[in-house]
Structure 1
Amino acid sequence: MKTKSLIVLLLAGIWGVGSWWWYTCKVKDFCGADATSAQIATGTAATGAAALAGAASDADNKSSADTTDTDGDGIPDAKEKTLGLDPDKEDSDGDGISDFIELARDPQDTDGDGKIDALDDDDDGDGVLTAAEKADPNGDGNVDDAADTNNNQLADYLDPAANGGDATQTAAADETDADKAAADKTAADAQAKADADKATADKAAADAQAKADADKAAAEAQAKIDADKAAADAAQTKADDDKVTMETTSPTQNGDIGPAILTFPTGSANPQLADSTKEYFEKVAQFLKDNSSAKVTIVGHTDNKGDPAKNKALGLKRAEMLQKTLVGLGAPKDRVSASSEGADKPIADNNTEDGRKKNRRVEITPVK
């Protein structure tokens, strides 16, 4: 009975050792790989590490194809392909932890989402990517220095209760805030420049409009001045047309008075004298008073409109009117003669109004 019991215990021991060897070397393929506890993530069960450390190599039983390790991560390409890993990448899921370390972990699917950690970029399923939870802060490929923010001896990237990405997210948030502040400042500066440019443009437009308004007002004022002057000139012309105007043929020299031609309005024999004509007559009267031998002849002329006899009488009447004016200013009557040529001696074309106006004249000739 005792012998049978020993045999059963021996068989059980052999079966246990054989099962352990089969699982470690055939299933896990750890017999030919070097692994240390330093490569196991903080907080991971030690069983996987111990298995890796104590496993014996069976490289002699495998072909060169079975042991090819393209990415040098300590896991044969054939094994990586079996597990769905990328034989060309040491870190298939890009989470910052090598496939070797993640396969050595027990359990290999930390968050139980059906995706082994070596293929899961969020190993603990907390919504924060493993790469952001500082699994390997110094980037040396060793996760012994993995962040453990709540100090529970379980690395943040394996602990769904610890959001190891807070610091990173805070830094990212700070960076985002800084970027936003910089962008806001840039936008504010751009808006300020746009406002300044608009203010400058508005001022320039206002100044231009003010100048345009001032120029328009000045032009309107000048136009009014010109219009008023034109109206005054027209009124004066009309007034002069009703008066006797004068054209002196030669200037006064050495106290002598030059001859003059006086123009009369149509049909008038006794119109008012223009101011310049009055001034001339005063000088003629003074000339006669200053020179006892001096004389003045006044000869009337008309245009050819109307009866010739009447025109001659009209010319005489005009000459006598001016003779009377001179006498009234103090000129001796016996030295002022008045006569008429009528329309017989025109100096311009009677077929035009301007010509006829020139022909309606009185010629005054002082003689010393």
Structure 2
Amino acid sequence: MKSKKVVKGRGAQQNVPNRFLQHVYEMREDFLEFCRIEGEVADNNKTQYTPIFPKTIVNKVTSPDVGMMYSMNPYQGCEHGCIYCYARNAHEYWGYSAGLDFERKILVKKTAPELLEKLLKKKSWKAATIVMSGNTDCYQSAEKKFGITRKCLEVFLKYRHPVGIITKNALVLRDLDILKQLNEHCLVGVNVSITSLSEETRRLLEPRTTTIKKRLETVRILSENGIPVNAMLAPMIPGINSHEMLELAKTVSEHGARSFAFTVVRLNGAIGQIFTDWIRKAMPDRAEKVLHLIQDCHGGSINDSRFGIRSKGEGKVAEQIHEMARLAKQRYFQDKIFPKLRTDLHEQYKSRQMKLF
């Protein structure tokens, strides 16, 4: 889409070409003008849900930069619309654009609970924490409609299997009853993503996400119920939110978070074009400055695929961010520990029968 008109309520402002497709669909200016004159809607900007039927639901994570062994995603695509999201590129494998399609064409894996149970019952499966939302948020708006995440949590509880959750949506509190039961056996940890303390920044970066106030309240409620929370202060974007590191860490600690983690933003694949287009429309006064600061963190490029460096960044700007994180941990998390989840309970629950010997 080449129109300069802002797409309200969305992060991406265009559908960038899919690198795997030969043909490109675009809305030309003359077509948009025709629709305006005729009083027709060229694009209704509505979210579409499409069921898909994968053969498996749990993915083995091979990247050395990601702190998880296995992940699962009940939904492909994410209505939250976070402009920086690395998962956008994965939408191209399904034949869609990493831009607006990622936010508006959500693929729904309704059989996820059955696929998960089938895996956990296998004799060959050895318990290891499976993280929900390794790619897209399992508590995005689609979850209100389909409830797949809750059904999966019921499977984890049934088989006493450890599960991690990553989300930026207060909807996770809907499942507080199951989370408390999982936590009784030390089987769950929740990672709540909080990128900024500024609502203005949040609305620009993450247009359809829970407010900062509600996210902090989510951290507090989970923590008050004994459920361990790690705050994901990610990504740190120099010139936008990196200056908030210390205050963010202090605030999440005061609300009960036991630890925090962060990454330095990187704009790989189609995300580079999407982010660049967005920031020049959303923050025209500082767009070039921010882009140059991101380049300073990745050897002169906004794209960085180097294992061990890509999520940490390098150079003076990245070093300043890491130094603030070090100070934050020293000041606000010195005596806090995020517990290790148990993996020893699952084996006896595979067959749902107690072993004689």
Q: TM-score, normalised by structure 1?
A: 0.18
Higher relative contact order (CA 8 A, sep 6+): 2
Greater helix proportion:
1
Task: Compare CA radii of gyration and give the structure with the larger one.
Answer: 1
Q: TM-score, normalised by structure 2?
A: 0.19
